[in-house]
Amino acid sequence: MPRIFLYHRQHPFVKCSNLTFKGGKIMIRKSRDKKTQTLWMILLLTMGIFIMGTASDLCLAAKKVKEEAKVIPIGTITVMAPQPGVEITTEKTIIRMDEFKKPGEVRTITDVLTEIGGIDVMRFNPLMASPGDEVSIRGLNEGRMVIEIDGRRINHTGHYGRYIVDWSSLNMDDIESIEIIRGGHSVLHPFAIGGVINIKTKKGKKTDEIKPDVSVKAGYGKFDTYNLSASVNGGTANTVGYSFSASKQETDGYLRNNFQEADSINGHLTFFLPNDATLSLGAKYSDVNYGFPVINDPARADYDPDYPEYFAGRDQLRHIDWPQYAEKNPHWDKHTSYLDGIFQVPIGPGTIKAHGYFTGGRRWTSMYSAMGTFTRE
């Protein structure tokens, strides 16, 4: 009898076989197609693995988004970096002028010192260096510190008993570096309670290049302020170095009669001798004409509305406590000269240094006295 195979309607992988007649009824015996069943099981298993993997990826992505959205407070972060041209050691701070940089223009030494921690500069004229400027280290002014050029002191008496420095007489093009020692622990500077500022000048280079370094600068600003400067620095045949510079600065000033004119010229020659010995000769000259700020009171007949109001009782200059008036044009004219000769030779672990110098100066003052009379001296 032939065998007939049928497939179950609800279970396509179940095969019906062996149809027989028994008692007038058709008897069907089910049989399974193992190959079909295996294929279906593989398909279902693959779909299950895919669904589980997709769900796992979605969970991980959601967790990652949640972690990225979480804000973690980390507090204050301080970023510190050395200032170009400034070397800070445990003993001193060294400022190399050819590398020094700051926001804005560097016109004067006081522009440089204002950038150094622990040093305060009280400026009387913000446009240029002025005889009224005062520098202090850790709150101690120039009367309690030592200010030097090439190791020799330049803050001295002569300003009504004050140990002050006329910063307007120093030419920036003549400066190679500035050394700052804080505190009074230095044996070389026994009079320095607050500290030491040592200004080192350019003295030429030991080189066989004929071409020197030449610099020319000019600038103009508010209140008819301008500055001109030129310098040349070089050497010849590895035996002689030279450095020459000159500058001219003028301003009408912010306050009435607070004009200033400063001219300076500097020259240095260095002879390079055997055994690494050197002999340096230098000369500096400056001429400063400085106008004292005068009373500009609207209640006075000589009031000038082109200038800010300035009343009696204000400090006219840091060492003058009485007022000045516009009628006589109070001012001073000061000439300063520095001559230096420095011989150095290294011996063993140290260096022998001999420094001879001369300082000359003259000041002509035209001003009102504390009694209100005008004098010239």
Euclidean distance between CA atoms 260 and 332, whole angstroms: 10
Give 60: exposed, middle or buried? Use CB within 10 Å, 0-12, 13-18, 19+: exposed
Helix or strand holding residue 41 (H, E): helix 34-69
Beta strand residue intervals within 138-239, DSSP E: 146-149, 152-153, 156-159, 162-164, 175-182, 195-201, 213-221, 225-236
Which H helix or E strand runs over 347?
Answer: strand 331-347
Alpha-carbon dihedral 188, 191, 192, 198, rounded to 10 degrees: -60
Q: Which two tokens stand for residue 342?
A: 């420095």
pLDDT of residue 11: 46
pLDDT at 104: 73
Q: Quick one: pLDDT at residue 166? A: 80
The amino acid occupying position 227 is N
Query: Which residues lie across from 235 on neighbouring strands?
Result: 241
Predicted pLDDT of residue 14? 45
d(CA 113, CA 196) in angstroms, rounded, equals: 13
Do the beta carbons of residue 4 and residue 19 sit within 8 Å? yes
pLDDT at residue 62, as a whole number: 61
Burial class of residue 285 in the structure, from the number of CB atoms within 10 Å of its CB (0-12 exposed, 13-18 middle, 19+ buried): middle
pLDDT tens digits in sequence order for the chain, 377 residues long: 444 444 444 444 444 444 444 454 445 444 445 556 666 677 766 776 656 656 566 666 666 655 555 667 777 877 666 778 888 888 889 999 888 887 777 788 888 888 888 888 887 776 777 777 888 888 888 878 888 899 888 876 455 545 578 888 888 889 999 999 887 766 677 677 888 899 999 999 999 888 999 999 888 888 888 889 999 999 999 999 999 999 999 998 888 888 999 999 999 999 999 999 999 999 999 999 988 888 999 999 889 998 888 887 665 555 566 788 888 889 889 899 999 999 999 998 889 999 999 988 888 888 887 777 888 87
Q: How far apart are CA 241 and CA 236, in angstroms?
A: 6
pTM for the whole structure: 0.71
- 330 and 317 in contact (C-beta within 8 Å)? no
pLDDT attached to residue 274: 93
Question: At 342, which amino acid appears?
Answer: I
Topology of the domain covering 86-376: Ferric Hydroxamate Uptake Protein; Chain A, domain 1 (2.170.130)
